[in-house]
Amino acid sequence: MTSAPLAATLRRIERASGALATRSVARMDDTLPWFRALPADQRSWVTLVVQAGIGSLVQWMRSPISRPKVTGDVFGAAPREMARSVTLQQALAMVKITVEVAEEQAGELAAPGEESELREAILRYSREVAFATAEVYARAAETRGAWDLRLQALLVDALLRGDPADALASRAAALGWTDLSPVSVVIGTAPGSATVADSDQIVDSLVHIGRRAGLDVLAGVQGQRLVAVLGGADDPVRATQMLLAEFGPGPVVVGHAVPTLSGAPESARAAEAGWRAVAAWPAAPRPVAAADLLPERVLAGDTEARRRLVSDVYKPLDAAGPTLVETLSVYLDSGGTLEGTARMLFVHPNTVRYRLRRISEITGLAPTNPREAFSLRLALAIGRMHGH
């Protein structure tokens, strides 16, 4: 390193900055296929950035003893759109080509006797520029990640509010949602008293775990609740099991699957209703499907749960004829005994067995299972009131 600036060399570099930039861009065009595909305006911006970099080299070399740190200001001429279309790897490839061109021209640029010092300065400066480039992209990624997390929180809030499908789709597209089908909503407890930073980390972890499992995941922390939207999970309950470690202690309720994100508010309403009612079933599995909480949701005043018990359980039974409804009613009232039911109906116990099997086939609920018998009893009561 010299003790005084290379004045003659620096003047030559300044005069040749335009030619150096033109040659660098021409070589990028020859050797980088992706560069040729850039729009004309972005290619012109690259030329200005290269010229700014050469000007920064001159300033950097004028302080040989205490050289200033090269910062992202070198790229200040480039618009943000360029940073979005050019990756870090591509940006470093452009830096490498510019350095190669400058090294090749070092013999012409350097004043007599200063060639080696110029080459050394170019190599050291190129290292500084590479670090500055990485720093620019790291800051951009950090900012973009923070914005994505805020946007996710807004989208989750919109889902729970039941905002229009168009608004949901536009926000999801901004987050890179690939619209995998089906879609379901999961609600559980957020870990501890999560701060904003903790919330961001929780959401980020959920998204990464989901991606490794081939799922689209959007998430947000709302007070004490952690809400996740899963895309591409054919079995939402099973998919949620992979994410359980990110939830806090307590129940995790999974809404039913819907075909697209536009139907997610429906799944969210079911999950939210199940979340409010799950305390009535202390032995509920973790995670638990909102559809398995229909009795508790009915007791909590959920009209959708009432409608489903009538449409999915009572009406199919009623349509099959009065015999099955009567048999189920007597079986439940007799404490679930075959012999007692048979005596009250004046039929053989095997007939009762057959009818109970038919009830299970029609409703998907087994009268012999205490938990499912509870659902059947509620369905009978609500169905009768509905009919009356």
Q: How far apart are CA 283 and CA 280, in angstroms?
A: 9
Whether 27 maps to a domain, the answer reads: yes
pLDDT score at 288: 97
**213 shares a domain with 97:** no
**134 shares a domain with 11:** yes
Residue-range definition of the domain harbouring residue 316: 303-387
- Among residues 93, 96, 59, 89, the alpha carbon closest in space to that of 74 is found at 59
- Residues of the chain with pLDDT below 70 are 1-5, 64-85, 88, 134-151, 153, 163, 165-171, 173-176, 193-198, 387-388
Largest CA distance in the chain: 118
**For position 376, which CATH number holds?**
1.10.10.2840
Neighbour-count burial for 16-49, b at 16+ CB within 10 Å, e otherwise: bbeebbebbbebbeeeeeebeebeeebbebbbeb
Whether 153 maps to a domain, the answer reads: no
**284 shares a domain with 170:** yes
Whether 353 maps to a domain, the answer reads: yes
Whether 151 maps to a domain, the answer reads: no
Q: How far apart are CA 205 and CA 53, in angstroms?
A: 38
Q: Where are the beta strands (DSSP E) in the chain?
A: 183-189, 216-222, 225-231, 253-254, 288-289
Contact indicator for 373, 336 with CB cutoff of 8 Å: yes
294 sits in the region (left: phi over 0; alpha: psi -120 to 50; else beta) called: alpha
Q: How far apart are CA 313 and CA 354, in angstroms?
A: 18
**229 shares a domain with 334:** no
Main-chain phi, psi angles of 286, to 5 degrees = -130, 110
**176 shares a domain with 138:** no
**112 shares a domain with 21:** yes
Whether 341 maps to a domain, the answer reads: yes
**262 shares a domain with 171:** yes
Q: Which of 142, 175, 198 is the last residue of a domain?
A: 142
The 288-289 sheet, strands edge to edge: 216-222, 225-231, 183-189, 253-254, 288-289
Q: How far apart are CA 56 and CA 357, in angstroms?
A: 83
**252 shares a domain with 334:** no
Whether 296 maps to a domain, the answer reads: no
DSSP 59-96: HHHT-SSSPPPP-GGGGTTS-HHHHHHS-HHHHHHHHH
Whether 67 maps to a domain, the answer reads: yes
Q: How far apart are CA 106 and CA 110, in angstroms?
A: 6
- Provide the β-strand partners of residue 218: 229
**273 shares a domain with 308:** no
**383 shares a domain with 331:** yes
**187 shares a domain with 64:** no
pLDDT score at 2: 43
Whether 295 maps to a domain, the answer reads: no
- The domain total for the chain is 3
Contact indicator for 186, 228 with CB cutoff of 8 Å: yes
